[in-house]
Amino acid sequence: MNLRINTKLEIPDNEIKWRFSRSSGAGGQNVNKTDSRAEIVFNVSESKTLTPYQKYRISIQDEVKLSNGCICIAVQDKRTQYQNRQLALTRLTSTLRELLKPPPKKRRETIPTRSSQRKRIESKKKRGELKRNRQSNIDF
């Protein structure tokens, strides 16, 4: 089963590696016997489905830390391995969607118009006058 990120990107199963271990979360005594913790590893640098630009976009972002060019997500929130696997897949999908979003457009700097500058100064003067009128002028 391939992991569908968006309409244009689908990651095949052979590029995703799984690791399982004993969880430290909920599960009672069962936690000592079963490997319910799921860790998903996706190697970004060796992926054949990602374009070089997509690899670059993922590598420059600070939101996810790549270890040896891999995205590692460990989940031990649920009691069963199946639920943890599903949760890990959804987290990987959402992480990759966020990382592959196009960069925001650069803001073009603009200069405030003369009328907006004048209005700003007038409102500041009005406010100052209002505060000055509130002060009591009692001489001792």
Convert the pLDDT of each residue in 48-102 to its tens digit.
Answer: 888 899 888 888 877 777 778 888 989 888 888 889 999 999 999 998 888 888 8
pLDDT of residue 99: 87
For the chain, which residues make up each domain, given as ranges?
3-100
Report the 10 Å Cβ neighbour count for 50. Answer: 21
Q: What CATH architecture does domain 3-100 belong to?
A: 2-Layer Sandwich (3.30)
> What pLDDT shows up at residue 140?
62
Q: How far is CA 131 from the centre of its chain?
A: 45
Closest C-alpha to 9, from 53, 39, 40: 53
Cα first-last separation, the chain: 86
Q: Which residue has the higher pLDDT, 139 or 81?
A: 81
Report the distance separating Cα 32 and Cα 81, nearest Å: 13
Distance CA 26, CA 32 (A): 11
Tokens in use for 126? Answer: 């009005």
Q: Which residues pair with 19 in a beta bridge?
A: 39
Residues 6 or more apart whose Cβ sits within 8 Å of residue 101 = none
Q: Is 40 helix (H, G, I), strand (E, B) or coil?
A: strand
